[in-house]
Amino acid sequence: MIKEGHYHLVIKKQAQDIERSSKDNDAMSNSNKSLKTQFGILKENKMQNLIRYLALTVMTIGISTSYASNATQVKSSFVISDYAKTKYPIVFVHGVAGFSRVGSDPMGVDYWHQILPNIARNGGNVWAARLSPFNSNEVRGEQLLQQTEEILAITGQSKVNFIAHSQGGPTSRYVAAMLPESVASITSVSGTHKGSPVASLLMKSSGTMFGDASIALTNFFSAATVWAQGLDPQSYPHDAEAAGQSISVEGSEKFNAQYPMGVPTTACGEGSYQEQGIYMYSFSGVQAATNILDPLDPIFIGSSLIVDPKGDNDGMVSRCSAKFGRTIRDNLPWNHADEVNHVMGLKALFAPDPIDIYRQHANRLKLQGL
């Protein structure tokens, strides 16, 4: 594969040749032509040069956007250790209503707040997938599959490690089922493997005035999220109803029957630790309210009563639904947003730092030879 940097060198050289050619033409015109003729030649040369420059620019833009145009690699300007340097790239997979990054570099917001840069500083090769914020596991899975193939082609590696949050869990399982030889591990963070009663409740309102309005509003939010990332809306379709069905309890049962990898066969037990050479892990939070300053806490407090009135959930997903593969920990004092270090790092006073947990898990993958 020809690297993007090679094209930039070629373009730079051609631009220099264009500049020298323009100067030579100017000199010839000054010595041999009248002012009127000279002006005509200069005008023609400048137009030709402009056309050539624009053509080169368009070619450069095309290369830049097609080269890992979906998944985004997060790099660090300095590396302090190889603590998180895994054998295979780590691909972070966002959940429902998710994104990779919205806004500009100085003022933007990452879904995985400060997590990926920290792993990169510790030697990790990390990528953030970009998927439809609201759509089915299968549609998002096909998007992730394509991005996985891109990452493998760019890095020259044969496999990737998935770390997935919320609906990202089933999405990653879909890719593992379709492309098992290219997946080294799946780590699910509060994955909706057995569905969320919140989604089930919303799906029951489908067809009503409230339900239709909710779907329309969610689709608008999904389109706005795609736009805020500067992505092509045709490549990231939104379907709020399909998303709701996928993460509902009923929809999850159907999905699990077709793609059972790693899902516990008992109500709240362990899943298989390894299948088809793919290692599987999970961890999750069980606390809806974590910080009085967190604007999402009131939402999670309300939704937690729907998920499990006893409080054994993170505000969206129950502890048992999040079970997948080998459980690392299922009682973290985090809510559904804390699990990705949001809002902006707010968490319970003595809760473990999500950044540390993810970095330590990258080291776990490294020690496993992944």
Angstrom distance (rounded) from CA 245 to CA 137: 9
Indicate the domain borders of the chain.
Answer: 4-66, 72-367
| pTM for the whole structure | 0.79
Set 100, 132, 166, 185: catalytic member: 166
Set 185, 314, 318, 338: catalytic member: 314
- Position of tokens 């390894």? 274
Per-residue pLDDT, 102: 80
Q: Is 193 a catalytic residue?
A: no
Per-residue pLDDT, 78: 93
Average pLDDT, 10 consecutive residues per value, the chain (370 residues): 37 42 44 40 42 36 37 94 98 94 74 96 98 96 97 98 98 98 99 96 89 90 88 90 96 98 96 98 97 94 92 95 98 97 92 98 99
- Angle (CA) 85 87 91, round 5°: 80
Angstrom distance (rounded) from CA 262 to CA 279: 9
Set 165, 193, 336, 361: catalytic member: 336
Per-residue pLDDT, 206: 85
Q: Is 336 a catalytic residue?
A: yes
Architecture of domain 72-367: 3-Layer(aba) Sandwich (3.40)
Cα Rg, the chain, nearest whole Å: 25
Per-residue pLDDT, 104: 63
Q: Is 314 a catalytic residue?
A: yes
Strand partners, 325: none
Per-residue pLDDT, 9: 37
